[in-house]
Amino acid sequence: MAIDTPTTDTGPTTAAPSPAQAPTAPQSPAGVRLGGRAKLVLFVLCAAQFMVALDFSVLNVALPTLGEDLGLSRSALQWAVTAFALPSGGFLLLFGRIADLFGRKKLFLTGLALFGAASLLATLAWDPASFLTGRALQGLGAAVIVPTGMSLLTTTFPEGPLRDKALGISGTLLSLGFTIGMVLGGVMTDTLGWRSTMGLLVAFAVVVLALAPGLLPESRTPLRPRLDVPGAVTVTGGLLAVIYALSTAARRGFGGVDVWGTLLVGIALLAAFVVVESRSREPLVSLPMLRRRTVAWGNLGGLVTFSMMSTVIFVLTLYLQETLGLSSFETGLIFGVQGLASAVAGTFAARLIGRFGARRTLAASLLGQGVFIAALLGLGTHSGALLATVAVSLASMCHLGAIISYGVTVTSGVPDAEQGLATGLVTTTQQVGLTVGIPLLGVLATTQGSLFDGVRTVLAIDALIVVAAAVLVGLGLRGRARA
């Protein structure tokens, strides 16, 4: 659906021309100009995505202070992250499909309201239970906002240079939200206390909720198929079980019976989901879509870039504060440099995609991310802040290129009626990646003989995984380099 068009249409013959549709294929994304209304729509959608990304990181450096204030033990602090991650990763596909059927704008606004109210509860929390409840409801709101916001973006901006540019801006702000959150978290915790980090999210939600109703067009599929309830139950239950098992393993390791039991239940439910979808007349996820090379390999690249980069941020935070003895403010400044580097990368990513294609850009970005993560193996026990700043910034520039190019790769060629489904897969990959990386590898950093040895082990494995993914994605998309 293009901007200024009141409803989503599935065919090109009924879509009215609009300013957003004027630029055509010969133009590169960097040369495309957005109209005034298009800029406002993009601002609202990107602000919502930025807010969710901010929530992932703004609390990280505040966790020790938060634990002391609310009485959360060090081992229980992981739940400040996990309580958000479980619903935000588990319900994405379900809400993405519900939005397709019943209206993306309506659900988007509902998610914003829920997120704002949950952030207020977390701000005013009086004990661990009230805080974790607020975090869980924040995650549920994020599970609504992320897929609906992304599908509103991809149905508003037509495929081609306009969509590439919009996704480039969105991806840049997504990365900036994560890194700026690290800086703001340190500054705000030191000056105003940890509650201010949650209060900031309340303010964000209020502003976006005030602007969105008058700017965003409604968008839904013209047909009203039945919701695939068995598919929704199995995929949501499977994702919740897997994420819970991995998050629990991050605290206690993989030796517990409950960890393996929950993990096996999750895998069984996801396997059942595949069977259900293969037999459903109106599936939640179209298996033929998953068989598209662009969807399968693009999402693999997205899963790896998010999971491995979030792990690097986690272990570097431990290294900088506990090995080098830097303060939360100094650590935040290092990640602030990383955020600026990502912003710079965002200005070039669309041009690279326009010149080389999203698929080549994705493989090359993953390769660069892996190489610069490997460079972090040169960190020492008494010095390394400069190397950490430079290497993580360069790795983040490549990471940003991978974020944007995988989003373009997966959503290209998908009709508007299935954009919620495609973007649901994109955002599920993103959220699951952000969730599983730290439990899978981060636990190694805290269970080795020393923290420094653990950090080096994690970085080495991380780099190998990213480089291997770059090779696989490059081969998988070979021969179809232009997006």
Mean pLDDT of 379-385: 85
Instruction: Report residue 468's pLDDT band, with 50, 70 and 90 as the boundaries.
Output: very high
Q: Report yes or no on whether pTM surpasses 0.95.
A: no
Q: Count Cβ atoms within 10 A of the Cβ of residue 36 and give its class: 0-12 exposed, 13-18 middle, 19 or more buried.
A: exposed
Rounded distance between C-alpha atoms, residue 271 and residue 253, angstroms: 25
Return the amino acid letter for 95.
Answer: F
Per the model's pLDDT, the better-predicted residue between 201 and 61 turns out to be: 201
Percent of the chain with pLDDT over 90: 14
Mean pLDDT of 383-397: 90
Relative orientation angle of helices 257-279 and 229-252, to the nearest 10 degrees:
160
Give the model's pLDDT for residue 75.
56
Rounded distance between C-alpha atoms, residue 52 and residue 446, angstroms: 27
Ramachandran angles phi, psi of 327, nearest 5°: -80, 170
The pLDDT tens digits of the residues spanning 35-89 come to: 667 778 878 888 888 888 777 777 766 776 777 788 876 556 667 777 887 787 7
For 239, 249, 384, 445, 457, the CA distances from 381, given in Å and listed in that order, are: 38, 27, 8, 14, 14
Instruction: Report residue 333's pLDDT band, with 50, 70 and 90 as the boundaries.
Output: confident
Rounded distance between C-alpha atoms, residue 400 and residue 20, angstroms: 25
The tally of CA atoms less than 13 A away on the side-chain side of residue 385 is 15
What are the tokens at 412? Answer: 């290209």
Which is nearest to 391 in space by CA: 414, 374, 405? 374
The pLDDT tens digits of the residues spanning 84-132 come to: 877 877 777 778 777 777 777 888 899 999 999 999 999 998 888 899 8
DSSP string for 172-195: HHHHHHHHHHHHHHHHHHHHT-TH
Rounded distance between C-alpha atoms, residue 50 and residue 172, angstroms: 9
Rounded distance between C-alpha atoms, residue 274 and residue 132, angstroms: 32
Mean pLDDT of 7-30: 37
DSSP annotation of 419: H
| Range with the poorest average pLDDT among 249-258, 295-304, 447-456 | 249-258
Give the model's pLDDT for residue 469.
93
Rounded distance between C-alpha atoms, residue 16 and residue 2, angstroms: 8
